[in-house]
Structure 1
Amino acid sequence: MNDHWILHDSHQAFFRKPFGAVPCRQRISIRISLQGKKEEILQIILRLWDHQEGERKIPMVLCHTAHDQKSYETEISAPAAPGLLWYYFIITTREGIYFYGNNQNQTGGVGQIYLHEPPSYQITVYKEGATIPHWFASAVMYQIFPDRFYNGCENGEILNPKTNAYIYPDWNAPPAYIRDEKTGRIRQYDFFGGNLQGILKKLPYLKSLGIDVIYLNPVFESPSNHRYDTANYKKIDPMLGDNEFFRLLCAKAREQGISIILDGVFSHTGSDSIYFNKEGNYPELGAYQSKDSPYYPWYRFIQYPDVYECWWGIDTLPNVHEMEPSYQNFIIHQKDSVINYWMGMGVKGWRLDVADELPGAFIKALRKRIKENDPDALLIGEVWEDASRKTSYGELREYLLGEELDSVMNYPFRNILLDFMLGRKDSFETHGALMSLYENYPLHHFYAAMNLIGSHDVPRILTLLGEAPDEILLTKEEREHYKLSTEQKKKAVARLKMLSLLQMTFPGVPCIYYGDEAGVEGYNDPLNRRTYPWGQEDQELLEWYRKIISFRHRYDALTTGEWISLPLHQDVYGYLRRIANHQDVLGQKKENSSILVLINRNLHHSVSLSFDASAWGHQPWKDLLADDKETLVVDGLLHIALKPLEGKIMVQQP
């Protein structure tokens, strides 16, 4: 229905207070307004639902009358246990019954009138006192795929090459899976020889870039180059180094102010592993070899030994039974558990591979053990959707309620901004999608989300921003050798500058996928896992990253300041970041400042804006990207012109 005589806007304090996610037992004021409708209102009901109390219907009372507008309100208490609370409105009149609920995009804010049961508004209810390590909200992350980053051995020597491994003679060659022509199975893994020595040698580079956290793709022993098929959870892959060198790397990184986070692959192991030992390459008795193996209870066999549950049907990745006590003891509980062992080596946290494949109880136990080792350590989950309401295998998952994850990989952030940059959604739709995350995530989680624009599981960002042809239209050879044209590359780099400007100034923790800052291109796996182009970096792009990361480190407002979304024009999106009264959103004392970030995504046209900035103060605004050029506030208005694909980051200090 397009009739707007009913209004509820969950983003405005008048209609719902407090905004967004709330702790357990929080009192919440909810209002709805009716305007211009002459028919008699008989009753307005707030329909609530949660897992604890089920359905409740609460009558709303008239609280405010002005002209032809009437507002009704009620006050409720959030449930005593964490979970999701849902609501919509039922309006009964002389003429009939109307429903008012969330809009069809389910992004919160202004809703919609329906003649049937509508989609509900969401309130996330989290554990009282829940928080995340405050240091993380101010960090910048860097993701490394170890085989492809840097070989630190003298003369390019390859450490302990695996039997049947293919070693590329050229560091800059395109990676390619070597498959059996008949079955399509990988018959030989390819390696470039990146190792832990290489990461150690490049710590000064990462420090100069402004990196605080390194997230390493798997480093444990494995037959593959990606190492998601773990063979030994307590051994560094020999092609990368050894356990003592890893301890040294953690210590040297810590001296540079850099923390290291490991990839935890706990939903499955490799079939060629100590634990399963399908290939018979290990002296231990594996689950595949005998039911008497101590590892046999870890796996789910359907028809022993050749038919078993495996990850996405890939038989080299047998699934484990995470709730099996012996498995949990090995990974989490015993004194020399995997978690305890590596955190004793200096690891600052873990990124959980395929978090939605892990039972909630397993994640909670894992987090508890991590925090017992180090209260400031992190647990990050791989979640591709809105993590507050993620459903997998028919179950609503609990990730952000206070006893689970500290952070999640923010793929929604990436998708929203890509849609904007590529013209698929305008600024107002972008605002709505980002506000949905802001509303649904507990504030401390919103400010700790791992904000990525590239990873090992998606095409390289430059390839997407340069509008390369869809890879399904190209042959394997064409994909391997595809390079953006000069014009495409120019456009892609200009877009990446705008996208990374948003990434480095948005609430949450920006994560750079190795090589994105240097101009690496590539389609999906394996081409998104090309080597870092040492000596052939895009220096313009690299210096841009250094500059915007330095801004993030210089101004507290860009890390833990208030965030006010500003969709000012269909092609211009931005926001205000602000610290007022010397306190940031996490309750820490910080220096007051206001920073305005704006980008024009239009490829061809400039945009001139004039908008009311009086509420933010009357001092001049300095453009950090234009030698601190000042723009004055005139009669409360700020006048800004943005060229095509131009961004501004403007600071105002009292």
Structure 2
Amino acid sequence: MSESGIHKQILFSLPFEEGDESCYLKGSFNCNGDGSVELLKTDDSRNWEVTLKLLPGTYNYFYSVNQYNLFNEQRERIKKPMTLHVKQEYFFHDPDSTRFFSRNGGFFVIRCITPPDVKNVRIEQAGSRKKKNDFKFRSRDYNLFEFISRSDGKYIFYDNHGNRYGPFTPPARDEAKKSSNIIYQIFPDRFNRKGSPDAEFTKWGEPPERNSFFGGNVEGIIEKIPYLADLGVDHLYLTPFYSSRSNHRYDIDDYFSVDRRFGTLDQLTTLSKKLQEDKISMILDMVFNHTSIYFPQFVRELREKLPHDQSWYKFIKDTNEGMRKRWPVKDGKTDAFYESFLDNGGMPKLNHRNESVKKFMLDVMDFYAERLNVSFLRYDVADSINLNSIGDIFRKFREKFPEIGHIAEVWCVSDIFFRKGLYTSSMNYGLRNLIISLMNKEIGPNRMNSELLNMRFILGDDVYGKMMNIIDSHDTPRIRTILGSEKLAMAAYGIIMIMDGMPSIYYGDELSMEGGPDPDCRRTMEWEKVGSEFYLKFRELVKIRKENPAAYNGIIRFSRDKKGLINITKYSIDQKIEMNLNLGDSEIKTKEKKSLNSIDEKSATIGPEEFSIHVY
């Protein structure tokens, strides 16, 4: 184990055996992805090896051979993961890294990391007294301390052991430019249908089943552009619209054509132009972990076996007891064994190290970036796409489209996806889980502050400020159903509307739509609810974000007052936003406040599960 800054280089190694076609590292450091971290055979073919740089922390992991055979380092089959502790052994601060120093809302944000035995750190700046930390995170592997300052003077740290570190000089770095960045996610088959006869599809409003087609189409979205503009949307995120035989279209037959049920490429181009007139850009879903079994190259390879290094897929020779049969596709002689998405044989996994596959991925990205007004590309199952390969692709893509961002679909908080040249942000399931836990009273304000500090540290402020902050999505139950309350669902959105990052609205949440696990979370849009009290209040939340820079650029702090209200304060040098949330069982009286704009300004009480927002 060697050290570079705060990352520690760790060698992972597993003995190689005949029949091995691939070896992945699946762990909490890469969201247990199948392929983002791929081990390579050593020159003597005796071992699989890879070296990773990891931040301090506790990690669980497996070695995965031929995707589903899980081993420990002695190549013994295991069901429970191994555990690795990476401890911070010394004080560290680097003002040139946004992990340790940034400017936000006019403030200077300064952080340091220490061994776990350091209990307190104070900071001293020229012309001021020593100051204790504003936020703190503690764990068995490391501690974090964060200080919020108005001064740009040199600073020195002091810990409780009497050690002094510094002085440090603030870097000449401009504050990152931010905006409201409100995302609206559409599941295309369920948003709006125009022009198609009802007989072709399941009746609009019926409960969705796995194979239901409701016929939402491009023309239906075009018809609702005024609705999106009135709501305040900045980016429209479409899940896949490519040619496919499923309603979700994540198993793609042809990446260069639009599914006939959804529309045409010309109509999609028209949609992009009309959205642009209302200053709305597009976010497109790139599905590169896998294809469908009807994808031409896969059909070809079932008929004509290619050498392993030429194949677009990963066919497995190993048919031992530990190897699962993926899909009953015959090649004329034997069952076809291949790696797939979550053991779903209908979605064979691509071999991302193949140069032809990499060129194909880049061609798809170029094709749509050249034709549509794209602000971001979102990558499905990014935790299973080889990181070296996606880095090669991004490097070439950015030569032509440097302004387009890249959002990873990953379900954990890890910096491994945001190293130099890789993704610019991700769907923030970590924040979603924290907000739900807060609403369910499983964690309190102090824990919220602590976990958010750790998230900012892991990601660095440059990534944290671009995260796609979700409350739910097409892969989760809806927030209204999870919390069982319209008021709490509204409050959850209230929180992400005053946080740095990009708040994402899943279609229909602004109408208090319900929905359990997939497919129930993919119900048809309930247009009859537009204009409801819930919708009007939700629109006010969006308005507060759009009109107040502190909502997307500043410091956030959670606390609890003496009356039991959860106080969420978001502030910059020039502005302050206060959200007061009542998670108790009875009304709480509040002082009447006068503010620039607000929600529930005239209310003297906040009822159970209700909240108020004031801007000063």
TM-score relative to the length of structure 2: 0.69
Identify the match of residue 426 of structure 2 among 408, 421, 425: 408
Tell me the equivalent position of 2:521. 528
Q: Do the aligned partners of residues 373 and 601 (structure 1) sit closer, same or farther apart at CA in structure 2, a change above 3 Å counting?
A: farther
**Contact (CA 8 Å) 1:287, 1:295: kept in 2 or not?**
no
Q: Do the aligned partners of residues 312 and 122 (structure 1) sit closer, same or farther apart at CA in structure 2, a change above 3 Å counting?
A: farther
Q: Do the aligned partners of residues 450 and 175 (structure 1) sit closer, same or farther apart at CA in structure 2, a change above 3 Å counting?
A: same
**Contact (CA 8 Å) 2:99, 2:457: kept in 1 or not?**
no
**Contact (CA 8 Å) 1:519, 1:541: kept in 2 or not?**
yes
Unaligned runs of 5+ in 2: 8-51, 57-85, 101-110, 121-134, 147-170, 318-333
The answer to whether residue 369 in structure 2 is matched with residue 343 in structure 1 is yes
The answer to whether residue 346 in structure 2 is matched with residue 316 in structure 1 is yes
Alpha-carbon distance in structure 1 between the residues aligned to 2:316 and 2:191: 40
Q: Do the aligned partners of residues 369 and 249 (structure 1) sit closer, same or farther apart at CA in structure 2, a change above 3 Å counting?
A: farther
Alpha-carbon distance in structure 1 between the residues aligned to 2:394 and 2:561: 41
Tell me the equivalent position of 1:355. 382
Q: Do the aligned partners of residues 147 and 55 (structure 1) sit closer, same or farther apart at CA in structure 2, a change above 3 Å counting?
A: closer
Tell me the equivalent position of 1:206. 228
Q: Do the aligned partners of residues 555 and 315 (structure 1) sit closer, same or farther apart at CA in structure 2, a change above 3 Å counting?
A: same
Alpha-carbon distance in structure 2 between the residues aligned to 1:451 and 1:570: 30
**Contact (CA 8 Å) 1:231, 1:275: kept in 2 or not?**
no
Cα displacement (A) at 1:293: 11
**Contact (CA 8 Å) 2:290, 2:349: kept in 1 or not?**
yes
Q: Do the aligned partners of residues 294 and 507 (structure 1) sit closer, same or farther apart at CA in structure 2, a change above 3 Å counting?
A: same
Cα displacement (A) at 1:371: 2.7
**Contact (CA 8 Å) 2:115, 2:141: kept in 1 or not?**
no
AA aligned opposite 1:272: Y
The answer to whether residue 445 in structure 2 is matched with residue 427 in structure 1 is yes
**Contact (CA 8 Å) 2:308, 2:314: kept in 1 or not?**
no
Alpha-carbon distance in structure 2 between the residues aligned to 1:536 and 1:76: 52
Alpha-carbon distance in structure 2 between the residues aligned to 1:88 and 1:579: 28
**Contact (CA 8 Å) 2:256, 2:364: kept in 1 or not?**
yes
The answer to whether residue 231 in structure 2 is matched with residue 238 in structure 1 is no
Secondary structure of residue in 2 paired with 1:214: strand
The correspondence of residues 128-139 of structure 1 with structure 2, limited to 5 A, is 134=177, 137-139=179-181
Q: Do the aligned partners of residues 82 and 644 (structure 1) sit closer, same or farther apart at CA in structure 2, a change above 3 Å counting?
A: closer
The correspondence of residues 32-111 of structure 1 with structure 2, limited to 5 A, is 88-89=114-115, 99-100=117-118, 109=136, 111=138
Q: Do the aligned partners of residues 364 and 202 (structure 1) sit closer, same or farther apart at CA in structure 2, a change above 3 Å counting?
A: same
User: What do the CA deviations read for 1:49-72 (whole angstroms, capped 9, x no partner)?
Assistant: 9769999966xxxxxxxxxxxxxx
Q: Do the aligned partners of residues 142 and 76 (structure 1) sit closer, same or farther apart at CA in structure 2, a change above 3 Å counting?
A: closer
User: What do the CA deviations read for 1:548-568 (whole angstroms, capped 9, x no partner)?
Assistant: 111111111111233344344
Secondary structure of residue in 1 paired with 2:539: helix
Cα displacement (A) at 1:400: 2.5
Alpha-carbon distance in structure 2 between the residues aligned to 1:494 and 1:80: 40
Q: Do the aligned partners of residues 439 and 154 (structure 1) sit closer, same or farther apart at CA in structure 2, a change above 3 Å counting?
A: same
**Contact (CA 8 Å) 2:449, 2:557: kept in 1 or not?**
no
Which one is further off, 238-247 or 433-442? 433-442
AA aligned opposite 2:582: N
Q: Do the aligned partners of residues 100 and 626 (structure 1) sit closer, same or farther apart at CA in structure 2, a change above 3 Å counting?
A: closer
Secondary structure of residue in 2 paired with 1:194: coil
AA aligned opposite 1:550: K
AA aligned opposite 1:299: Y
Q: Do the aligned partners of residues 358 and 86 (structure 1) sit closer, same or farther apart at CA in structure 2, a change above 3 Å counting?
A: farther
TM-score relative to the length of structure 1: 0.65
**Contact (CA 8 Å) 2:556, 2:571: kept in 1 or not?**
yes
Alpha-carbon distance in structure 2 between the residues aligned to 1:225 and 1:131: 45
Alpha-carbon distance in structure 1 between the residues aligned to 2:177 and 2:137: 33
Tell me the equivalent position of 1:218. 240
Unaligned runs of 5+ in 1: 1-20, 24-48, 59-73, 91-98, 103-107, 113-117, 159-166, 178-188, 278-285, 389-397, 467-491, 581-591, 611-618, 631-639
AA aligned opposite 1:556: P
The answer to whether residue 208 in structure 2 is matched with residue 175 in structure 1 is yes
Identify the match of residue 609 of structure 2 among 645, 648, 652: 645
AA aligned opposite 2:288: F
Tell me the equivalent position of 1:447. 465
Tell me the equivalent position of 2:331. none
The correspondence of residues 180-191 of structure 1 with structure 2, limited to 5 A, is 189-191=211-213
Cα displacement (A) at 1:351: 0.7
**Contact (CA 8 Å) 2:563, 2:588: kept in 1 or not?**
no
**Contact (CA 8 Å) 1:289, 1:305: kept in 2 or not?**
no
The answer to whether residue 607 in structure 2 is matched with residue 593 in structure 1 is no
AA aligned opposite 2:351: H
Q: Do the aligned partners of residues 262 and 433 (structure 1) sit closer, same or farther apart at CA in structure 2, a change above 3 Å counting?
A: same
Alpha-carbon distance in structure 1 between the residues aligned to 2:87 and 2:570: 39
**Contact (CA 8 Å) 2:87, 2:142: kept in 1 or not?**
no
Secondary structure of residue in 1 paired with 2:296: coil
Tell me the equivalent position of 1:247. 269
The correspondence of residues 622-641 of structure 1 with structure 2, limited to 5 A, is 622=596, 624-627=598-601
User: What do the CA deviations read for 1:43-99 (whole angstroms, capped 9, x no partner)?
Assistant: xxxxxx9769999966xxxxxxxxxxxxxxx6765899999x996548xxxxxxxx4
Alpha-carbon distance in structure 2 between the residues aligned to 1:86 and 1:247: 48
Tell me the equivalent position of 2:59. none
RCO comparison, higher one (Cα < 8 Å, 6+): 2
Alpha-carbon distance in structure 1 between the residues aligned to 2:403 and 2:455: 25
Tell me the equivalent position of 1:291. 305
Cα displacement (A) at 1:510: 0.7
Secondary structure of residue in 1 paired with 2:510: helix
Secondary structure of residue in 2 paired with 1:175: coil
Alpha-carbon distance in structure 2 between the residues aligned to 1:129 and 1:299: 48
AA aligned opposite 1:173: E
Cα displacement (A) at 1:594: 2.0
Q: Do the aligned partners of residues 570 and 252 (structure 1) sit closer, same or farther apart at CA in structure 2, a change above 3 Å counting?
A: same
Tell me the equivalent position of 1:383. 410
AA aligned opposite 1:453: I
Alpha-carbon distance in structure 1 between the residues aligned to 2:414 and 2:87: 24
Identify the match of residue 141 of structure 1 among 183, 193, 199: 183
AA aligned opposite 1:311: F
User: What do the CA deviations read for 1:190-222 (whole angstroms, capped 9, x no partner)?
Assistant: 200011111111111111111110111111111
Tell me the equivalent position of 1:105. none
Identify the match of residue 512 of structure 2 among 509, 515, 519: 519
Alignment size in residue pairs: 475
**Contact (CA 8 Å) 1:207, 1:256: kept in 2 or not?**
yes
Q: Do the aligned partners of residues 609 and 424 (structure 1) sit closer, same or farther apart at CA in structure 2, a change above 3 Å counting?
A: farther
**Contact (CA 8 Å) 1:322, 1:328: kept in 2 or not?**
yes
Q: Do the aligned partners of residues 565 and 401 (structure 1) sit closer, same or farther apart at CA in structure 2, a change above 3 Å counting?
A: farther
**Contact (CA 8 Å) 1:322, 1:359: kept in 2 or not?**
yes
Alpha-carbon distance in structure 1 between the residues aligned to 2:444 and 2:88: 38
Secondary structure of residue in 1 paired with 2:136: coil
Alpha-carbon distance in structure 2 between the residues aligned to 1:376 and 1:80: 22
Q: Do the aligned partners of residues 573 and 134 (structure 1) sit closer, same or farther apart at CA in structure 2, a change above 3 Å counting?
A: same
Cα displacement (A) at 1:458: 0.7
Q: Do the aligned partners of residues 77 and 530 (structure 1) sit closer, same or farther apart at CA in structure 2, a change above 3 Å counting?
A: closer
**Contact (CA 8 Å) 1:519, 1:538: kept in 2 or not?**
no
Cα displacement (A) at 1:340: 0.7
The answer to whether residue 493 in structure 2 is matched with residue 460 in structure 1 is no
AA aligned opposite 2:344: I
Alpha-carbon distance in structure 2 between the residues aligned to 1:81 and 1:648: 33
Tell me the equivalent position of 1:366. 393
